[in-house]
Copies of this chain bind each other. A is one copy, B any other.
Amino acid sequence: MNPPLKPGKVWLVGVGPGSPDLVTVRAMRALAAAEVWLVDDLIAPEMSCYASPGTHVEWVGKRGGRCSVSQERIQKLTLQHALAGRSVARVKGGDPLLFGRGGEEAAFLRGHGVAVEIVNGISSGIAAAQALGIALTHRAHCHGVTFVTGHTSAHGSPDWQALVRGGTTLVIYMGMSRLAAIRDGLLAAGMRSDMPAAVVMHAGSEQARSWTGTLGTLAEALAAGLASPAVMLVGGVVADTLQAVHAIVPDAGSLAA
């Protein structure tokens, strides 16, 4: 009889918002070391440049709330590979710890005796700020920034009243399908309709597109063709984009080797 297999290691790897050059060195090494990749749907195919020859790649993503593979199934699949002794990279967009369910996946795997290492990545909200040429925080405008999901869950909407009173810049993920409700929630919470607002679609990728306006005109972003995956930014700092940039052009290629 063979001795029981030592489980393979699992890396939960954030590969950032899209451009392969926004991957960290640590993520590249994890991607190269893993024998199996389990890849989320929104990951750019170009990311495969980081796979070692012979890597087994499976796409397990979810898109816009519709699960092509359920969260449970993804976790079981990851566990199966690890228990079979294979090292696994769970390849996730952005950062696994910010709306990435990395906490749930890590807890599940650790509960089964599998070693998990989380590798941080650039989140799309911060890449959106880069695309707009603005900072998310500014001494003159606010004390900080809040990242929230606009997606309805069992726990209802964010407390817009409290968030508006808190005065931080708001970066809203997964909110495009509820854009009008979010706008109405912020207006009802007392936010001025002329508060600067922006939407960035495919932030941090070559396909980045953006719209800037105000909270009151937010629905124009939909008319302009912006859709998921996109982040909304609302707050005084967003006005700085008007002075800072005149057109949004992807920066990714400008440093290409």
Contacts and interface: CB of A to CB of B under 8 A. Distances in A.
A76 to B, nearest CB: 19
A217 to B, nearest CB: 23
Nearest to A143: B158
A16 to B, nearest CB: 7
Interface string A10-23: 00000010011111
A148 B127 CA distance: 19
Interface residues of A, number: 74
A32 to B, nearest CB: 9
A255 interface: yes
B143 A149 contact: yes
Majority secondary structure of chain A interface residues (helix, strand, loop or mixed):
mixed
Contacts of A126: 95, 97-98, 120, 123
A85 interface: no
Contact of A146 (B99, B117, B144, B255): B144
Contacts of A2: none
A193 interface: no
Interface in A230-257: 237, 240, 243-244, 251-252, 254-255, 257
The 4 residue pairs across chains A and B that have the minimum distance between CB atoms? A103-B135, A144-B148, A162-B165, A162-B166
20 contacts: A21-B25, A22-B24, A22-B26, A22-B120, A23-B25, A25-B28, A29-B257, A97-B130, A97-B137, A99-B137, A101-B139, A103-B135, A118-B130, A118-B133, A120-B127, A143-B157, A146-B146, A161-B165, A163-B168, A166-B166
